[in-house]
Structure 1
């Protein structure tokens, strides 16, 4: 084999690998991700809104929504999940994207293009948690040395807890 051809092939292969790795997060992450939504009790309806208050998803627990990881250039996405039962809001939870570990690959490999252009523009530099779990929150809570007292909606009690209730 011709040594010149081997050197040319090696150089071309090295350049190709460097270009592919220059935006690591874009290679390994997606700009939208599925997020599983669960609640206790299940069967709650949920609505997902973005920072501007635009509804970007809804459903019933357990369910799933696809959400964007970024809201703008170098801006992670943030969402508010509002949970309801019989039309009454029972709680909400915030979900915010965080910087992906794959984004650091740009620093290690020296991909300036991926670091400041490709990954931030596509939103692939961010990742969302895989799921949102909403557990009914107490409406009020009081703690004293001898114990604690919590006020909750009757909708948050299971059958066994409801059976132990006493009418006052």
Structure 2
């Protein structure tokens, strides 16, 4: 009788391993991702692959992004950084393959690799942090670009004249 129980427990354990996905066990469907811009404290907007706004606010922040958008399709997002309503930086981010997904070869089997992990989205991973570079010229100058002005020296104040350099 003991041998039957051992076989039943072993079969049940083996069956549960083959009906689960390795990445699904170790990972979750969503993962917090730190979002920042260079420079910081600018407005951001994150749009998913379908054009829906997922998150808006100011950098730096942490958002939770879906790892996948559909069966066997990684999550893809566009992050826009704005200053004074003008987009000064954009970056597209896609989820990559989660290394635990390949654990299915040993533990999760074909069901974990083809069904469970792709359906749960755990076969993908999002980066832990993303820093979007901005167009430094636009950020530094804002909406008012500097212009060259030619003036007569006689129109300068004495404080302005003291800053002149002889060439």
Query: TM-score, normalised to structure 2's length?
Result: 0.76
Q: Please give the residue correspondences for 1:40-119 in structure 2 after superposition, counting only pairs within 5 Å.
A: 40-109=38-107, 111-119=109-117
CA displacement at 1:8 relative to structure 2: 2.2
In structure 2, the partner of 1:127 is: 125
In structure 1, the partner of 2:140 is: 156
- 1:136 touches 1:156 (CA, 8 Å); kept in 2? no
Structure with higher Rg: it is 2
- Aligned residue pairs total 144
Q: Which has the higher strand share?
A: 1
Gap change, CA 1:19 and 1:156, over 3 Å in 2: farther
- Which blocks of at least 5 consecutive residues in structure 2 are unaligned? 150-167
- 2:79 touches 2:90 (CA, 8 Å); kept in 1? yes
- 1:41 touches 1:156 (CA, 8 Å); kept in 2? no
Q: Provide the rounded CA distance (Å) in 1 between the counterparts of 2:79 and 2:67.
A: 15
Q: Provide the rounded CA distance (Å) in 2 between the counterparts of 1:86 and 1:95.
A: 24
Q: Provide the rounded CA distance (Å) in 1 between the counterparts of 2:31 and 2:105.
A: 24
Question: Does residue 12 in structure 1 map to residue 23 in structure 2?
Answer: no
Query: TM-score, normalised to structure 1's length?
Result: 0.76
Q: Following superposition, which runs of at least 4 residues in structure 1 exceed 6 angstroms of deviation?
A: none
Q: Provide the rounded CA distance (Å) in 2 between the counterparts of 1:91 and 1:126.
A: 26
